Homo-oligomer: A and B are copies of this chain.
Amino acid sequence: MSLLVVGSVAFDDLETPFGRREHALGGSATYFSLSASRFHPVRMVAVVGEDFGPEQMRVFSGRPIDLGGLSKVKGLSFHWKGAYGYDLNEAKTLATDLNVFADFKPDLPEAYRESQYLFLGNIDPVLQLDVVRQMAKRPRWIALDTMNYWIRGARPALEAVLKEVDILLVNDAEVRELTHEHSLLKAYRKIQALGPRILVVKRGEYGMALFTPEGHFAAPAYPLENVFDPTGAGDTFAGGFLGYLAWIERTDVTALKHASLVGSVMASFTVEQFSTERLEQITQDEVRNRLALFSDMIRVEDL
């Protein structure tokens, strides 16, 4: 198998009720690849500026993350500044400086074009579609994340790329904005009509819901003593989800449920510290232990 992510690598200024960080490593491709690479090698396509130095590069080293598609160009890296209120469920964007990202045109290295798993991080759907068109053959699974900004401002392009997508990963508000349906069951049918066969709804501290043609599943979030910074939780989830699926090489609903638990557990680490601080340091034992506790927690004997 082979797993490709196209997304952002960024610097974030973060403010939560529990503290702040400036110029911290962020971006969808960053969180995704740090999470997915626990389970399967990852190929990354992204762009950074001259401010992205050896210190940042070190975060990716010693991991099965292929940076052959990470281009460094003149200028500054993508920068996002966000703040969270007490409930931590929604980020308020204070600043977005696209910088080198404004001219980002993903150009896939030849070898990447045969990747069997593709994650399209939350970027302009025009670019997402361009990536899909560069693939030499249809990946086994294409997953996509997007946001209200594109749903409102680039719907035709988004609908064009969604036709090619198998798995849509979004939050409650996004799926409702995309489908104009309050009920997620109804929303899922509209999503299917747009293309994706599978819908994953990310719900922050409330966990996630999975919709497949074979049935519906939902799981709470892994309960934590401390949540410092929810930034990157969704991309970390996506990384665990797809990394696990690429590793297990199964596409059945049980594998999708397990992938959901893996994604949730990975996200639980990310939010325990700012930026990628916790995600960088976890051990395989910590992942395994938390997965076992989580499985126990949601298990119910038959009624």
Contacts and interface: CB of A to CB of B under 8 A. Distances in A.
A194 interface: no
Contacts of A217: 297-298, 300
A3 to B, nearest CB: 20
Interface string A171-190: 01000000000111110000
Interface in A249-264: 254, 257-258, 261-262
A72 interface: no
B227 A223 contact: no
Nearest to A221: B218
B295 A218 contact: no
21 contacts: A17-B182, A87-B172, A183-B226, A183-B227, A185-B224, A186-B225, A207-B218, A209-B223, A216-B223, A217-B297, A217-B300, A218-B221, A218-B223, A218-B298, A219-B298, A258-B301, A258-B303, A291-B303, A292-B303, A295-B302, A298-B300
A226 B186 CA distance: 9
Interface in A132-188: 172, 182-186
Interface of A: 17, 86-88, 172, 182-186, 203, 206-207, 209, 215-221, 223-227, 254, 257-258, 261-262, 291-292, 295-303
B182 A227 contact: yes
Contact of A297 (B218, B258, B297, B301): B218
Contacts of A182: 17, 86-88, 227
A127 B62 CA distance: 63
A178 to B, nearest CB: 15
Nearest to A183: B225
Contacts of A302: 295
A185 B223 contact: yes
Contacts of A186: 225
Contact of A215 (B86, B203, B297, B303): B297
